[in-house]
Chain A
Amino acid sequence: MALKIVKGSIDRMFDKNLQDLVRGIRNHKEDEAKYISTCIDEIKQELKQDNIAVKANAVCKLTYLQMLGYDVSWAAFNIVEVMSSSKFTYKRIGYLAASQCFHENTDVIMLTTNQIRKDLSSPNQYDTGVALTGLSCFVTPDLARDLANDIMTLMSHTKPYIRKKAVLIMYKVFLKYPESLRPAFPRLKEKLEDPDPGVQSAAVNVICELARRNPKNYLSLAPLFFKLMTSSTNNWVLIKIIKLFGALTPLEPRLGKKLIEPLTNLIHSTSAMSLLYECVNTVIAVLISLSSGMPNHSASIQLCVQKLRILIEDSDQNLKYLGLLAMSKILKTHPKSVQSHKDLILQCLDDKDESIRLRALDLLYGMVSKKNLMEIVKKLMIHVDKAEGTTYRDELLTKIIDICSQSNYQYITNFEWYISILVELTRLEGTRHGHLIASQMLDVAIRVKAIRVFAVAQMATLLDNAHLLTGNMQRNGICEVLYAAAWICGEFSEHLENPVQTLEAMLRPKVATLPGHIQAVYVQNAAKLFATILKNQEGNTDSTAAQETSQMMIDRLPLFVQSANLEVQERASCILQLVKYIQKLQQKDVEVAEEVSALFAGELNPVAPKAQKKVPVPEGLDLDAWINEPPSESESEDEQPKAIFTKEEPKHSRPRHTEVDEKELARRREARKQEQANNPFYIKASPSSQKVYQEAPGVEHIPVVQIDLSVPLKVPGLPMSDQYVKLEEERRQKERAEKKKKEKKKRKEKRSGRGKKHDSGPESEEDITPAHVVDIVTEEMPENALPSDDDDKDPNDPHKALDIDLDNLLETTARRPLADSEKLPVRSHRAAGAPKSSAEDGEAENATPQEPKKKSSKEKRDKKKDKERDRKRSKEEKKKKKHKHEEKEEDLLGGQAEEPVVQSEETKEVEAQPTSTSAEVSDLDFWLSNAPVPSNTQEAATVAEAAPAPEAPAGTAADSEPEEPKDTETEESKSSKHKKKKQKKEKEEKEKKKKKKHHHHHHHHHSDGGGEESVQNGTVEEEEPLPPMSNYCLLAENSYIKMVCDIQGNLQDGSQVVVSVIFENKSDSFLKSMEFNVLDSLNSKLQRPEGSGPHDGLTVPFQLPPGVSNEARFVFTVQSIVMPQKLKGTLTFIVKNEDSSTHEKLDFKLHFTCTSYLITTPCYSDAFAKLLESGDLKSSSVRLEGVNMPFHHLLARICFHHHFSVVERIDSCASMYSRSIQGHHVCLLVKTSGQTVSIDAKCDEPTLLGNVLDEIKQTFSQC
């Protein structure tokens, strides 16, 4: 018998699969929980078995139970076991379970690293796929770090199925391990052009997601996305891209201009509503970003509004909703165009769909004007009455108040009307927004002086009828209004008609049922009222009235003295004593009114809510400075940041300071609470008093008879707001009539006719004069209040970490290439024991104990090499692609250009250079500058030409690679470069002539283009050609050979300098076997190919026949760039004649000037200004006397010889900018008067600056 049971249960254990479990649960509806708990017991048994199939089955069931809300984290280890099964079926079950219940704090996750890595590299694509899917749900920072490299490899997998998953998961990896973004980005970008549409879509998806959070870093991808947008037919991709552009346009208005046309085309052509909608949305974003200077501006808005109207009128509620949503975006910037659709929007207020009503409400906010405010609010009030459900009604209420109070009550012409609206709103049942109404009442009464008489009268009635408001305790939210009413009546009591009656109303016993803070206000204001009454009554001959009032106070106040609320108690007892004393004096016939009212004399002014925050920090007060020096241990840490921040403005450091303070305070408070809680002698607040006086829930406990009124309340004697609407209309009509009369008179004098049009047209905003002159007192702000600098970015936002500069990475013309530390950790890395974080590594090693240690370092080297090779290859490929793409772009735009044929040829020729030499940023500028004006191809061509320094500076990216000089192929290209240069100069001349016509228009745009460009601008204006210039200077010369050289910093590498040497054979002999050698200094070293010794020379990769010259490049690594230096070197060569050959040698001194470390970098004037403001730069200046050349020549020389670019030029004054290869900013302000030139300069490295200035001085002393 017992055996049978055991056997049966074992059978069941084996048998019950997911379907059985589900069926069982369905069959045990009454005792589901019990049934499931037995099932869980069974599952526990199953998990204990060795059979993986049984385990997998159990895990599968657990996944189901997890969905029902059962915690299954206890089985995490078993899930890992199932995940590591070799069978796909079980693996999938395991990964599914893991994806459902693993999270960052699941500790077994760290055991999975190796298993996942194994699955990722599995030959079966579905193993990999399942692992990727699972990982996407539970990736942790550790997993991300350890697996980033593996996933990156998968991005280039042969199967698109894997590629797209790998691409997609990279986003999760970036989020968890932001360091991986830079190394992975180039490949991710590559995937944008993947042949498989799925992969492409995934890449777009990821980049859009990244760009949404940190759009500015992705601006440089705009051309690529633009191309995708115009070529893709996949609506998903299009939608994503268009959404992305919506995020980018606010940063770059030029992009918006370029976008408008294709987007408009899409709007016209697409049949997909989703796409149409997103296009409209982005066009709106573009329009918002553009200032209103666009010509086609209004047409685009009109188009959008039109399309949206169609959406809103559609019977599909979804379209209606979205239409309203988008409309509200237009509203912010172009309220006029939306206002014309007011009818439609008001109609939507009646929609049965709450979502739509809410959207329509949002729109109303921006549509009101002085003219229609009353009408709209009236409609809303009707809706308030009709509305079912408190949420929608509360929404209506807040909207009414928002609409009326917006921009400082701008649209309210009649405040009496507004007050009566507020009073009407107090009759809402069950609203939570009593305090909102109250604060409006207070605000209006305080700030609009003219309205006080009316407001006081209304408030007095409210107080008198307070029982109607407080009667029903369910409506307790509204009693907040009484707070405002009491205060207004007290503060402005001089306006009360019947103060005694109001005083009486304020001291009724019923008041004691109100919340404490309201009672407190009642008591305080009763005292104010009392003072006023005394003042009024003392003038009378009959003193009994005054004494009666005092008596009333004395009779009524004790009720409040007994209040459980401390505030009420305190105020009441204080005032009671005061009144008693006054009564004594009164009985002696002493006049007290003056003194009593002096208690409350003086006006209370409204203070802006932000006022406190805005008080500027007084000069000389450093909130960050220690009052007492901190203990010594922390000193060293604090010292450094201090040094950096002392120069900054105090506002930067202030928020941080308070934040710390708040945290500290909170901590202390918590500690104190803890202490108090643990202290048996500490008297805690009695629960009863808390109950009564804490807001809403507490009040319910007060036993009060509920008055249930089915009829909507009408407070007797209160004017209805509708009356005002009518009155207002009448008033306006009258005004209009009067105006008409006047106008007619005028017109009769002049001429008749045309007049009717004007009369019948709607009155314009300005025509409406407010009912009474209203003086809206502005809120007080402290003197010298600082402008708002609230930063509402959430510091905990994970996307903040992804705000990483990616521009430099693109096209690998990196100014900041990947440092070794940035490369993704490869598995072997850790095993080799990188010193970086030994603790972490220890852990990781525990998890991966089998890894062979010795092999790893070799592996690492190999991998690195592979990587490098890969990178190079991809670089080259990319370059090719880029060119193609650019050409296409050109063609595309060529269609718009005026003289496309001639121009585009020229462009193509020069195109090749800028793409590789100039940084990505200027590429974008180039792309963008193509856009707006038809004549721009021409412009672009000049920009493109100007971008590379005329003497072909660093060459292509590949050229600067250290191995290059060996490459013989380059020879040809170099010699051809010389030819090109000549051609180019000629072209420049031609173009200058052409350009003169349009020149003045694009002067400003151009300064972004590149240094030389701005100089050219100068030249054209003054019509004087520049003298020919060359940076090549003589290095050494003898009877055989002449060497001239130019030294340029390497764009790619902050520690490299490229020396281009032109060797010219002056003899009649053949020169061969040239060897170039330099004696390295500590600071600068010649880069030699791997394997050669430190003193070996470099073979010059060509021979020189008689009379021929050729150029070779040599790369040097430098450490410090702040000082100029000289290197001694020798060139050895063999002179070969017909009969003999001799060894010759030429010594030279290579002079690295500081100038050669500077790189021409364009700089926008605003960025320039910011840089100067930052205060990080040290300044220095120099004067040049006797400079006898035009200013533009002077600038051109500085630009040319010293690698600066002109930021801005105004008359005889120009600001210039350059950057060193190590990122130092150098800013110059050059002024000239007569023959004196003064240069004020700033740089973050004073030594470098000094040297650069010396060099500039020298340049000009030579000429």
Chain B
Amino acid sequence: MIKAILIFNNHGKPRLSKFYEHYNEDTEQQIIRETFHLVSKRDENVCNFLEGGMLIGGSDYKLIYRHYATLYFVFCVDSSESELGILDLIQVFVETLDKCFENVCELDLIFHVDKVHNILAEMVMGGMVLETNMNEIITQVDAQNKMEKSETFIFQSTRQDR
């Protein structure tokens, strides 16, 4: 099971947080801070696993992360997940983002966190891996975006002209 998925930048600013177990907002922020603290002090060329922090997990949980340019992608998982598998999954996630946003950068994540959530929802559901095939994920995401477009809405059409 995946317990949480976090994306934050090099300064620890959260760009996406998805907890598959309930915490209150303060704890969530603490977890993000703690995770950032743990992850950010690690060198570039060390392994991508580390034993979970105090708040999230305990001994059965691991943090598995990847660092891309300005962003950290962190998955907190328990022992039923394969470590290398999750690393691959992060790669799939990032590549999918790259496809969906066309050369994704931090700004895309900043302004379209809802879209990132929607993409993630096609990959991981309730803490379990739903789909790992990138093409399948993109197909579903695109289909839903198309549907969204076909429904007209007031506030966006006026804005997007600018």
Contacts and interface: CB of A to CB of B under 8 A. Distances in A.
A544 interface: no
Interface stretch (A273-281, A742-750, A759-767, A845-853): A273-281
Contacts of A320: 47
A209 B112 CA distance: 33
Contacts of B18: 100
A89 B128 contact: no
B126 A239 contact: no
A236 B156 contact: no
Given A71-B25, A89-B148, A322-B83, A198 B126 contact: no
A335 to B, nearest CB: 23
Interface string A613-628: 0000000000000000
A70 to B, nearest CB: 7
A88 B85 contact: no
Interface string B123-136: 00111111111001
B84 to A, nearest CB: 3
A1218 interface: no
Given A67-B16, A274-B84, A318-B83, A169 B47 contact: no
Contacts of A139: 126
In the complex, which of the residues B50, B85, B110, B127 has the most CB atoms of chain A within 10 Å of its own CB atom? B85
Interface stretch (B67-75, B93-101, B113-121): B113-121
A26 B49 CA distance: 32
Interface in B27-73: 28-29, 43, 45-51
A1138 to B, nearest CB: 74
Contact of B82 (A63, A198, A274, A353): A274
B30 to A, nearest CB: 9
Contact of A164 (B25, B85, B130, B153): B130
Interface string B6-20: 000000001011101
Contact of A136 (B26, B113, B125): B125
Given A69-B26, A239-B82, A322-B84, A126 B47 contact: no
Contacts of B121: 96, 130, 133
Nearest to A165: B125
A161 B156 CA distance: 29
Contacts of B49: 318, 321-322, 355
B85 A274 contact: yes
Given A168-B130, A352-B43, A278 B82 contact: yes
Given A126-B147, A353-B46, A171 B126 contact: yes
A54 interface: yes
Contacts of B129: 201, 205, 236
A666 B132 CA distance: 50
A88 B151 contact: yes
Contacts of A352: 43, 45-46
A137 B127 CA distance: 8
A147 to B, nearest CB: 14
A1147 B110 CA distance: 88
Interface string A357-385: 01000000000000000000000000000
A168 B47 contact: no
Given A171-B126, A274-B85, A209 B114 contact: no
Contact of B130 (A71, A92, A202): A202
B130 A208 contact: no
Interface residues of B, number: 57
A87 B1 CA distance: 32
Contacts of A15: 155, 158-159
Contacts of B132: 201, 236
Contact of A103 (B22, B83, B126, B159): B22
A245 B126 CA distance: 24
B46 A355 contact: yes
Interface stretch (A17-25, A713-721, A813-821): A17-25
Nearest to A61: B114
A172 interface: yes
B128 A205 contact: yes
A70 B25 contact: yes
Given A317-B45, A318-B49, A355-B47, A169 B125 contact: yes
A664 interface: no
A14 B67 CA distance: 38
A839 to B, nearest CB: 26
Interface residues of A, number: 73
A93 interface: yes
Given A71-B25, A172-B126, A137 B114 contact: no
The CB with the most chain B CB atoms within 10 A, among A14, A18, A168, is that of: A168
Nearest to A54: B155
B151 to A, nearest CB: 5
A1206 interface: no
B59 to A, nearest CB: 12
A14 B83 contact: no
Contacts of A358: 51
Contacts of A273: 84
A1086 interface: no
Given A54-B155, A133-B121, A318 B84 contact: yes
A456 interface: no
A209 B28 contact: no
Contacts of A60: 114
Contacts of B154: 51, 53
A389 B125 CA distance: 39
Given A63-B114, A96-B117, A208-B80, A88 B148 contact: yes
A71 B18 CA distance: 15
A18 B114 contact: yes
Contacts of B105: none
Contacts of B113: 18, 63-64, 67
Interface string A334-358: 0000000000000000001111101
A278 B79 CA distance: 12
Contacts of A51: 154
A318 B87 contact: yes
Nearest to B49: A321
A318 B125 contact: no
A700 to B, nearest CB: 23
Contacts of A71: 24-25
A14 B155 contact: yes
Given A168-B130, A352-B46, A69 B111 contact: no
B157 to A, nearest CB: 10
Contact of B148 (A64, A92, A103, A124): A92
Interface in B76-91: 80, 82-85, 87-88
A104 B117 contact: no
Contacts of A67: 14, 16-17, 113
B143 interface: yes
A812 interface: no
Given A69-B29, A93-B114, A236-B85, A137 B20 contact: yes
A66 interface: yes
Given A168-B130, A202-B130, A320-B47, A274 B88 contact: yes
B25 A318 contact: no
Nearest to B88: A274
Contacts of A124: 147
Interface of A: 14-15, 17-19, 22-23, 26, 51, 53-54, 57, 60, 63-64, 66-71, 87-89, 92-93, 96, 100, 103-104, 124, 126, 129-130, 132-133, 136-137, 139, 161, 164-165, 168-169, 171-172, 198, 201-202, 205-206, 208-209, 212, 235-236, 239, 243, 273-274, 277-278, 317-318, 320-322, 352-356, 358
Question: Which 7 pairs of residues, A with B, have the shortest CB-CB distance?
Answer: A136-B126, A274-B84, A103-B22, A317-B47, A353-B46, A69-B29, A321-B47
6 contacts: A88-B148, A93-B114, A100-B18, A124-B147, A277-B83, A318-B48
Given A132-B125, A209-B80, 17 more contacts: A18-B111, A67-B14, A67-B113, A87-B153, A88-B147, A88-B151, A126-B147, A130-B121, A136-B125, A274-B87, A274-B88, A277-B83, A318-B47, A320-B47, A352-B43, A353-B43, A358-B51
